[in-house]
Amino acid sequence: MPRAAILGTGFDVPDRVVSNDDLTAVMDTSDAWIRERTGIEERRWVREGTTGAQMAHRACLAALEEADIPASDVDAIILATLSPDHAFPGTGVFLQRELGLTGIPALDVRAQCTGFVYGLSVADAWIRMGQYRTILLVGVEIQSTGLDVSTAGRDMAVLFGDGAGAVVVGATDDDGRGVLVTRLHSDGRHAETLWCDAASSARHPRVSSEDLASGRHYPSMDGREVFKHAATRMPEAVEEALAASGLEIGDVDLLIPHQANLRISEMVRRRLQLPEERVYNNIQRYGNTTAATIPIALAEAVREGRLQRGDLLCLVAFGSGFTWGSALIRW
Ligand code: UT7
C-alpha cells in the first residue's frame, strides 16, 4: 500500500500589510491590547480584485515547483476554505480552471480552521487506496471582506487575515516517510459559538435588510468559550495521534498548531511540555488565516530549514463547528 508524503509546499499572501495601528484608525482598539491578548502584530488583507482562487493558484505553483512536479501530474484537488469566492460553485473549480486541469476532481472542504487537517486525511486515504497519486491540497481564506471593521466588530476584526497555503501530497513507496496518522473530530453542539448566521438558506430570504442592519452577515464568536475548548482539545488531539502511532511527545521535532491566538499556542505547548523551539508560530505576521494557517506556517517552516528529512511533524487544529484534529507526518 503506498503512503502519502508531502512533496512540496507553497504559500501566497496579499502584499497589503495591515498593522495594529492601522486598525486603531477605524475602531476603538490598541496595538497593546491586540499584542497582549493575541500576539498579532500585523496581518495581510487583499486589495479589491484579488480572489481566493488566484492566491490558491500562486500557492499551488510554488508547491509544485518545490516538489519538482509538473501541474499535468496532479490528479485531484482538495481545497479547504470557509470563505469561498462565491456561494457556489466551490473555489476548488476556480482553482482548477486557473491551473488548466480540466476533468480532474475538485473537492471543497468545509471544516473551518481544521479544514487543512481534514483535507490531509482525505488525501491520505485516497492515496492509500490507490485512487489518486498526486493531490494538490490547499487552504485559502479571504476573511477581510467579511469583517465588521468598526468598534462593534473589533473582537473578530483584529484577529483574521487573508492568504493561501498549499502542499503537493504524493504517493510514495518509501516506508520511512509520509502521513502516519490523522485524527478528526467535531461537536456541533457548539455550532453557533463561532459562526456566521447570514446569508443562509435557513432564512427567508437568505439575507434581509434587517439582517444587514443588525450585522448578522458578520461572523460572531464567544471568544472565551472558543479559547477554553481550543486550549483543551488541541493537546488532547496531539496525544491521541501519538498514542495511535506508538510515539511519544519527545519524538515530535516540530509542532505546527493552528494559528488562532499566540496564548492558545503557548498553553498547548506547555500542556504538552514541548520546548519553545519545537513549536512553530507565525500569527504575529499573518493573524488567523483559518484553513490557510497550517499550510502557510508549514511552507515558511520549510523555507527556514526547520524540517529535515526523517523529522516527526505534528499538525493540530481547532475551530468553528467545533471541529478539531491532528496529523503526524514523518518528513
Ligand atoms: O480559529 C479558531 C477560532 N478563534 C479562536 O480560537 C479565538 C479564541 N479566543 C480568543 O483568542 C480570545 O478570546 C480573544 C482574543 C478573542 C479575546 O481575548 P479575551 O482575553 O478572551 O478578551 P475578552 O473577550 O474577555 O474581552 C476583554 C475586554 C472586553 O471588554 P470588557 O467587557 O472587559 O470591558 C472586550 O470588549 O476586551 C474588549 N475587547 C477589545 N478591546 C480592545 C474585545 N476586543 C477588543 C479589541 N480591542 N479588539
- CB of 206 within 8 A of CB of 199? yes
Identify the pLDDT of residue 7: 98
Distance CA 178, CA 169 (A): 9
- Domains located in the chain, CATH noted: 3-172 (3.40.47.10), 178-330 (3.40.47.10)
Which residue CA neighbors atom 24 of ligand 1 most closely?
223
Identify the pLDDT of residue 144: 98
- CB of 325 within 8 A of CB of 317? yes
Identify the pLDDT of residue 138: 98
pTM, entire model: 0.97
Give φ, ψ of 110 to 5 degrees.
-110, 75
* 261 assigned to active site: no
Distance CA 162, CA 83 (A): 10
* Residue whose grid cell is 482539545: 233
What is the per-residue pLDDT across 44-83, written as a single tens digit (0 to 9) for each? 999 999 999 999 999 999 999 999 999 999 999 999 999 9
Distance CA 65, CA 57 (A): 12
Identify the pLDDT of residue 180: 98
Residue 305 burial (C-beta neighbours within 10 Å; 0-12, 13-18, 19+): exposed
Identify the pLDDT of residue 3: 96
* 258 assigned to active site: yes
* 204 assigned to active site: no
Identify the pLDDT of residue 114: 98
Cβ < 6 Å from ligand 1: which residues? 29, 33, 37-38, 113, 154-155, 158, 194, 223-224, 226-227, 230, 260-261, 264, 288, 319
Residues of the chain with confidence (pLDDT) below 50: none
Output the nine-digit C-alpha cell for 259.
Answer: 494559528
Identify the pLDDT of residue 120: 98
Instruction: Specify the ligand 1 atom closest to the Cα of 154.
Output: 48
Using the mean position of ligand 1's atoms as its centre, give its distance from the Cα of residue 323 in Å: 21
What is the per-residue pLDDT across 73-132, written as a single tens digit (0 to 9) for each? 999 999 999 999 999 999 999 999 999 999 999 999 999 999 999 999 999 999 999 999
Output the nine-digit C-alpha cell for 282.
Answer: 507565525
Identify the pLDDT of residue 189: 98
